[in-house]
Amino acid sequence: MGSRMRRKSAVTALDAHLGYWLRFVSNQVSQAFSRKVAARNVSVAEWVILRELFDGESVVPSVLADRMGMTRGGISKLADRLVAKGLVTRTADDEDRRYQALALTAQGRELVPVLARLADENDDEFFGDLSAADRKKIESVMRDIVRRRGLKTVPVE
C-alpha cells in the first residue's frame, strides 16, 4: 500500500494519477454507449439489467442489487421503468411473496442482442486498435484490482 514512491512536490498534477485517465476514458466510453442505446429508448443501467436477465430465467431484485453494486431502491426504480416499457415483468414468488422476481418479456429478450451489438461496436470503437496483448493486460490488471479490493460495484459499461 505505501510502497509506491511519491514525488515530493506538494501538489501533484491531475493527470499524474491513473484514476484521472481511467475516469477520462471510461466516461467517454460510457457516454458514447449511452448515446447509442438512447436510440432504443434504453439507459445504460437499464441495459445492464436486461443483460443480466438474459442469461437466467429470472432474477430477484436484491440479487441484482448485489451484483450491480446498487441499492434495492435503485433497482426498484429501474425495474419500474423497464416494466413500463414492456421489457420486463415482475412475478411474486409463490412460496414467499416478498420475492418479486424480474424476468424479460419476449420484447425484452428480442432487444438484448440488438443492444449487445451496440455494446460490441462501442467497445471496438475505443479499444479495437489495441493489441490483443494490451487489452488482455489491462483487463487482467482491472480484474486484479477488483479481486484484491473485493469491489462489487457498478459496471455502467
- Residue from 8, 97, 147, 149 in contact with DNA (CB under 7 A): 97
Q: φ, ψ for residue 100 (rounded to 5)?
A: -110, 85
Residue placing its CB nearer to DNA in the complex, 40 or 77 = 77
Nearest distance in Å: CB 78, DNA: 6
* Gap between the Cα atoms of 96 and 141, Å rounded: 41
The 10 Å Cβ neighbour count of residue 92 is: 11
DSSP 58: -
Q: Please state, in angstroms and rounded to a whole number, the distance separating the CA atoms of residues 32 and 44.
A: 10
Q: Is residue 149 involved in binding its own copies (CB under 8 A)?
A: yes
**Applying CB under 7 A, what is the total number of residues that bind DNA?**
33
Residues interacting with DNA, by CB under 7 A?
A: 27, 31, 34, 43-46, 60-63, 70-81, 90, 95-101, 154, 156
